[in-house]
Amino acid sequence: MTEANIRLECLRPATSGWIQPTGEEVREALRLAGLTGGQAAKVLGLGAKGDRTVRRWIGEDSAIPYAAWAILCDFAGQGCIWKDG
């Protein structure tokens, strides 16, 4: 895995003590994935105003859903965090 400024608690399966990432951790995952907010919105299937949703996650105005976070982490080279082990 690529070294990242993301807490290990944010890289766990949802049922194994997962902690919600901060906006900075979302931003770091986007950086590692090489995605802009708009690109992330497209690959996550967020729809026409998805870039606004990504901005809200970064600004901590709303929480990123675990499924979206897990896919973003996979794009960021952090592996399939939804799997144990």
The total number of structural domains that make up the chain: 1
pTM of the model: 0.92
Residue range 13-42, pLDDT digits in tens: 999 999 999 999 999 999 999 999 999 999
Q: Can you give the pLDDT at residue 1? A: 43
Tell me the residue range of the domain where 51 lies: 23-75
Judged by DSSP in three states, 24 sits in helix
In a domain, 54, yes or no: yes
Q: Can you give the pLDDT at residue 3? A: 58
Where does the pLDDT of residue 84 fall: very low under 50, low under 70, confident under 90, or very high at 90 and above?
confident
In a domain, 9, yes or no: no
* Residue range 47-74: mean pLDDT, rounded: 97
